[in-house]
Amino acid sequence: MASKNIDRILKLPLKHSFFLFGPRQVGKTTLIKSSFALDSCLIYDLLIPEELRRLKMNPGRFRDEIIYRDSKYTHVFIDEVQKLPEILDEIHYLLENMKKPPAFILSASSVRKLKGTARNRTSSRLRRTNDRSVLRVHEDHEDDENAEIEDCEQSPKRSNANMLGGRAFSFSLFGLTHLELMQSSKFSLYRSLEFGSLPAIYLLSMGGDENAEIGVRQQCQDAILALRSYVNTYIKEEIQMEALVRNLDTFTEFLKLAADENTNVLNYSNIASDIGVSSATVKEYYQILEDTLLGFYLRPYSSRLRKKLSKHPKFYFFDTGVTRALQQKLSLELTPKTKEFGKAFEHFIIKEFIYTANYLNPDYQFSYYRTENNAEVDLIIEAPTGKVFAVEIKASDTPKNSELKGLKSFKTLVPEASLICASLAEKRYKLDEDIWVYPWAEVFGLVFK
């Protein structure tokens, strides 16, 4: 089975220029090449050192090559455009001055070099299409009174790349979602939790008995090796290559701690103390993770009716398998009814909601709810219709009412909210007059109908 045989939810525009953002190995190049006739695409792969060096020495040469290209090339595909931000000036010029410019296809696995200062990081002039929901959970935290987020004036200034002044759409691509895998009849919850959803790695994990659910890890050594390689080469070496951190050893130690803190409310001071750096450095490290598309913030739910709510964000890595690799737990089988399984299940459900909304309707907003008395709901979903879903995630087929007190607490704040427990139950049932327990996959149909 090849990843190109899995139909992706995201559909790219065929006649308009666009950016396609996403971490490495989520399938950006595969999607682009399967969506366009390659004989009509002039391709620039900036992962090839010679190509990058050639254009870096003389970006103006790129302009001439586009102007005098063969007329059969209706599209220009630049892979990993963040490696040469100055080429966007040339593209902008071409779009403004050519009578019939080609459509530019621009993929990027990092936005750090393609954005301005921290204060302006969500004010891009790009015409947003499918990525507004992610931007909402990535918003700056400077309005949170007690959040331990550094003032943007203290953040390092970053060059403001030319983002084409609204002449390009913007899309985001993530790992394979359960909806995409279910359509191809290749979905396994246990494989998704253990090995994540990077296409090549997930497909490696499907070796051996495809019908096995628990105990698949022994069949999947290639997937384990691939995940370790992804973490050790791409995440660490790529960040070092881009000169994003000065001390790679300290950053590597931070990655392990950040993975351990995945799904938890962030406490920058504690992490800083553990690795011997300042809180400001830890915040900047998290910013690097966000900028390189390796994770996202989930902000706390806010309400004017109650001020005693948590003001600290959570941070989720973009993939469950990558998280387990960073935690150095790939050698341990993920076992149901354990704390680790529960955290992985929560991580999986939350990223699936955010990524699915990103594709289907980016106007959904996501947050979590927590009071000073530690009443908590894992995910609050605000639909564009105004409907509110409070979703507690339990890796159990028989969740108990006593485990769902956070839903009751949220009901006092938002009486019209639908209270849902996303679980491993086989069929939905009503737990009491307010709370419904659903098989987790059915909740997506309920929210996105």
Residues 6+ apart with CB under 8 A from 75: 36, 40, 41, 42, 102, 103, 104, 105
Per DSSP, 427 falls in state S
Which pair of structure tokens corresponds to residue 320? 């469950």
Query: pLDDT-derived band of residue 157, with 50, 70 and 90 as boundaries?
Result: very low
Q: Which two tokens stand for residue 256?
A: 């392990």
Exposure b/e, 111-147, CB count within 10 A at least 16 = b: bbbbbeebeebeebebebbbbbbbbbbbebbeebeeb
**Contacts of residue 181, Cβ cutoff 8 Å, sequence gap at least 6:** 6, 187, 192, 197, 202
For residue 9, being part of any structural domain is answered with yes
Asked whether the beta carbons of 172 and 21 are under 8 A apart, the reply is yes
Q: Give the burial class of 398: count Cβ atoms within 10 A of its Cβ; 0-12 exposed, 13-18 middle, 19 or more buried.
A: exposed
pLDDT in the model for residue 353? 98
Residue at 412 is within a domain: no
Band of residue 216 on the pLDDT scale cut at 50, 70, 90: low
The answer to whether position 300 is within a domain reads no
Amino acid type, 72: K
pLDDT recorded at residue 149: 33
Q: Residue 243's pLDDT is what?
A: 57
Residue carrying structure tokens 């830890």: 282
Distance from the first to the final alpha carbon of the chain: 31
Residue 58 lies in a domain: yes
Cα(440)–Cα(379) distance, integer angstroms: 13
DSSP conformation class of 166: G
Mean pLDDT value of segment 281-297: 92
Nearest to 198 by CA among 350, 329, 325: 325
pLDDT average, residue stretch 196-219: 69
Asked if 30 contacts 3 with a C-beta cutoff of 8 angstroms, the reply is yes
Confidence check: pLDDT of 343 > 50: yes
Q: Quick check: 151 pLDDT over 50?
A: no
Quickly state the pLDDT bin for 21 (edges 50, 70, 90). Answer: very high
Residue 304 domain-assigned (yes or no): no
Amino acid in the structure at residue 315: F
In this prediction, residue 141 has a pLDDT band, given cuts at 50, 70 and 90, of very low
Mean pLDDT of 252-263: 94
Average pLDDT over residues 260-284: 95
> Domain residues for 113?
3-132+160-172
For residue 337, give the 3-state DSSP assignment. Answer: coil
Does the pLDDT of residue 153 top 70, yes or no? no
- Residue 314 Cα distances to 124, 193, 347, 426, angstroms: 24, 19, 11, 30
Per-residue pLDDT tens over the stretch 293-310 = 999 999 999 865 565 677
What is the chain's mean pLDDT, rounded? 85
Res 307: pLDDT = 57
The pLDDT tens digits for 431-447 are: 988 999 999 999 999 99
pLDDT beyond 50 at 178: yes
Nearest to 187, CA basis, from 213, 225, 222, 208: 213
Percent of the chain with pLDDT over 90: 69
Helix axes 59-67, 49-57, angle to 10 degrees: 100
Q: What tokens does 338 get?
A: 């354990």
Specify the pairing of strand 75-79 against strand 103-108: parallel
Per-residue pLDDT at 4: 56
Q: What band does 152 get if pLDDT is binned at 50, 70 and 90?
A: very low
- Average pLDDT over every residue of 260-279: 95
The pLDDT of residue 77 is 98
> How far apart are alpha carbons 3 and 200 in whole angstroms?
7
**Tell me: the pLDDT tens digits for 88-116?**
999 999 999 999 999 999 999 988 878 64
Q: Which residues contact 115 (CB under 8 A, 6 or more apart)?
A: 121, 124, 158, 160, 161, 291
Across-strand partners of 436?
Answer: 420, 430
Distance between CA 278 and CA 285 in Å, rounded?
11
Structure tokens at 8: 């992706």
Is the pLDDT at 128 greater than 50, yes or no?
no
pLDDT recorded at residue 134: 39
Mean pLDDT of 386-401: 96
Per-residue confidence band for 185, with pLDDT thresholds at 50, 70 and 90? confident
Is 417 part of any domain? no
Residue reference for tokens 């098989």 = 439
Task: State residue 166's pLDDT score.
Answer: 81
pLDDT at 303: 67
Q: How far apart are CA 196 and CA 263, in angstroms?
A: 16
Task: Output the pLDDT for position 144.
Answer: 39
Q: What percent of the chain has pLDDT above 70? A: 83
Q: Judge whether 122 lies within some domain.
A: yes
Q: What is the pLDDT of residues 329-341, one digit of tens each?
A: 999 989 999 999 9
The CATH number given to whatever domain includes residue 23 is 3.40.50
Question: What is the average pLDDT across 209-230?
Answer: 70
Dihedral angle of Cα 417, 421, 425, 431, to the nearest 10 degrees: -70
Per-residue confidence at 254, pLDDT binned at 50, 70, 90? very high
CA distance 449 to 437: 18
In this predicted structure, the answer to whether residue 124 has a pLDDT above a threshold of 60 is no
What DSSP character marks residue 303? B
| DSSP letters spanning 112-134 | GGGS--GGGTT---SEESS-HHH
What pLDDT, on the 0 to 100 scale, is given for residue 308?
63
Kindly tell me if the per-residue pLDDT of 117 is higher than 60. no
Q: Which residue, among 346, 336, 315, 63, has the nearest Cα to 190 in the 3D structure?
A: 336
User: Residue 246 — very low, low, confident or very high, per pLDDT cuts 50/70/90?
Assistant: confident
- Given a cut of 90, whether residue 142 has pLDDT beyond it is no
Residue 54 lies in a domain: yes
Interval 55-83 mean pLDDT: 95
Q: Please list the helix, strand and coil fractions of the chain in percent, rounded to the nearest 5, in that order.
A: 45, 15, 40
Q: Residue 446 has what pLDDT?
A: 96
Q: How many domains does the chain have?
A: 1
Give the gyration radius of the chain's Cα atoms. Answer: 22
How much is the pLDDT for 39? 95
